């Protein structure tokens, strides 16, 4: 399966297979699990993942670990291609989820300065322009 990149204002309720939906304004991304199980994967951008587009193909870093679904899939998406990694054990998946919740609670407790928010807005505008020009 190959993943394309689609910038959206809001993440749609119904997701299509093979599409990484990215809302730069709300700093989230979503996709259906690459294993085909149909699980909806939500990513917080830039807190936990970076999402980008190269010639319309999606890249997501770091790896996506689907710890909250029975498949326990674990993979990278690079230029649209899926690179499979070993699945997490139940104990490792639980640990990753606990650490992620703790990290987000810490990040949410800190308000980002206006300069950081301004640079993020400029980067989003630049990425939109780059996508429109196909660079």
The pLDDT tens digits for 20-71 are 999 999 999 999 999 999 999 999 888 779 999 999 999 999 999 998 888 8
Choose between 89 and 114: higher pLDDT.
89
The candidate with the shortest Cα–Cα distance to 99, out of 128, 62, 59, 124, is: 62
Q: Is the pLDDT of residue 105 over 70?
A: no
Q: Which of 109-125 are b and which e, b meaning 16 or more Cβ less than 10 Å from the residue's Cβ? A: eeeeeeeeeeebeeebe
pTM of the shown model: 0.73
């Amino acid at each position: 399966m190959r993943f394309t990149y689609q910038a959206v204002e809001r993440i749609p309720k119904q997701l299509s297979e093979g599409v990484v939906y990215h809302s730069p304004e709300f700093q989230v991304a979503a996709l259906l699990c690459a294993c085909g199980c149909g699980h909806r994967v939500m990513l917080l951008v830039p807190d936990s993942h970076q999402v980008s587009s190269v010639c319309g193909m999606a890249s997501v870093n770091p790896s996506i670990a689907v710890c909250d679904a029975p498949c326990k899939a674990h993979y990278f998406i690079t230029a649209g291609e899926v690179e499979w990694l070993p699945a997490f054990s139940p104990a490792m998946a639980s640990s990753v989820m606990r650490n992620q919740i703790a990290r987000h609670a810490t990040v949410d407790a800190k308000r980002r300065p206006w300069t950081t928010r301004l640079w993020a807005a400029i980067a989003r505008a630049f990425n939109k322009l780059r996508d429109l020009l196909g660079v």
